Amino acid sequence: MKVQKSEQEWKSQLSPEEFYVCRQHGTEAPFSGKFYNEKAEGIYKCVCCGEPLFESETKFDSGTGWPSYYEGIENAITEIKDNSFGMIRTEVRCASCDAHLGHVFPDGPEPTGLRYCINSVCLDLDEK
């Protein structure tokens, strides 16, 4: 079931930075997020709704300054064509609440060849 809240409800639940990135499609500065260099094992969840999004086993160091994963948890994320900023990209959103998470690019490692470039501020980590 889709999580739906008003803009005011999201603002009261999230920090200003979380609201900007997750609900207004912003981006945190590279190398500034709490998870870009995180090595702990666990499940990365959506900061907005708590749904599991990525497993730590799929995380890799892409050198970009944002947490990167080669695969999302099945049915946890949606991908949407993004034509903003004069380029064609694929936006990644939480399938449960439509939170903007980041973008996916076709330059990741095997086995998928994908790089889900995700803003740390959009995530919580449930450590094992």
* Active-site amino acid positions: 117
CA distance 53 to 8: 24
Structure tokens at 79: 């991908």
Instruction: Give the contacts of 120 (CB within 8 A, at least 6 positions apart).
Output: 28, 32, 33, 34, 35, 36, 66, 67
CA distance 45 to 47: 6
